[in-house]
Amino acid sequence: MRIAFYAPMKPPDHPVPSGDRRMARLLIAALGRADHEVELASRLRSRDEAGSPERQARLRHVGSGLARRLLRRYHARPPGQRPRAWLTYHLYYKAPDWIGPAVCEALEIPYLIAEASVAGKRAGGPWDLGHRATLAALERAAAVIALNPVDVEGLPKPSRVRSLKPFLDPVPYRVAAEARAGHRKTIADRFGLETNACWLAAVAMMRPGDKLASYRLLAKALKPLQHLAWHLIVVGAGSACGEVERAFAWARPGQIRFAGEIRDEDLPGLYAACDLLAWPAINEAYGMALLEAQASGLPVVAGASGGVPGIVGDGETGILTPPGDTAAFTAALDRLVCDPALRRAMARRARRKVEAEHGIDGAADRLDRILREAAGLA
């Protein structure tokens, strides 16, 4: 089946890495594994960060024009080469879909959404236009694929909601984990790390808001443990880089290493070299880095925000702490940094959990069933 794919938040080929971009790419890959042909319908970014009704109105106008242009392109094709379904990824009031619903109505094809949320408090406010557009798109959707169970609350027409666990291709992480010794030596040489210390990783963009708040909490939680033998490798870049570095200014020389931005294909090796992923996950949807780390055999210490408990087994594959609780996060880090045997046991369970519950092949089967049901082919 030919699928038109659109990510209003950030297109899958955007140059800046993020969990959002990774999941968009994974959705496309999973659809391909199920023998669907995916084409990127548009690269329009409809995100309005500031809450400007004027910007939202402009984006609506641009989106309407792009929908008309797409329809002319699709109608110029033979019927067998037109999309038979549309999938929009990550829909909410700041990034509504101004294109897909109109195209689907004109072509009479099913409109599907993966990962959507509704914030009723935005009605009548500065994002009212985006809020109403999101509600209208959800009303039209033949299926809404929920990757985060927390988002299901507030969605209209719950009978159309279909669950899908966050997923990844476990193979690159498995391969990297099996070559851990080589990756660890490479990272040790690059950053001058002590190989007998516990290596922690934090992988996230450095931007104001929840990401910066998570970095600051991590810094506060680690400070009482600075006497222990550990290193923290921070992977990420962004406009809040300076503020993140200042949050860790208390650390001993060499204790914190800032790796900057790392290519997606190089991340498995970085994870495999480390011993533990630490991320407070303030207001996190679910956190792709948490899933990737576990696939690599890393236990996780994270805040139990949003969908995080759905991918991290508390006491099984890591330790979850109350969101925003610095003291609890310190205690969890202290426990795992000082207990290599517990880390190894959790690491084994983490890899098994990801392989069994969060693999791309299972996701491909699930997406295929949802699509065929929506298209009346089930």
pLDDT of residue 266: 94
CB burial string 350-371: b at 16+ within 10 A, e below: bbebbbeebbbebbbebbbebb
Tell the CATH topology of 171-357.
Rossmann fold (3.40.50)
Is it the case that residue 119 has pLDDT exceeding 80?
Answer: yes
pLDDT of residue 378: 64
Positive or negative torsion for Cα 214, 283, 211, 120: negative
What does DSSP assign to residue 92? B
Q: Region 248-270: what's the mean pLDDT?
A: 95
Domain ranges of the chain: 2-167+359-374, 171-357
- From the candidate CATH numbers 3.20.10.10, 3.40.50.2000, 3.40.50.1220, 2.70.210.12, the one assigned to the domain spanning 2-167+359-374: 3.40.50.2000
Pure H helices in the chain:
19-33, 53-75, 100-107, 128-140, 171-178, 180-191, 210-222, 241-247, 267-273, 288-295, 326-337, 340-357, 360-374
Is it the case that residue 133 has pLDDT exceeding 70?
Answer: yes
pLDDT digits (tens, 9 = 90+) for 287-334: 999 999 999 999 999 999 999 999 999 999 999 999 999 999 999 999
Kindly report whether the global pTM for this prediction surpasses the value 0.85: yes
Distances (CA, A) of 299 to 57, 85, 148, 304: 46, 39, 21, 15
Q: What is the mean pLDDT of the chain?
A: 96
Is it the case that residue 154 has pLDDT exceeding 90?
Answer: no
Closest CA to 329 of 218, 247, 199: 218
pLDDT digits (tens, 9 = 90+) for 349-377: 999 999 999 999 999 999 999 999 998 88
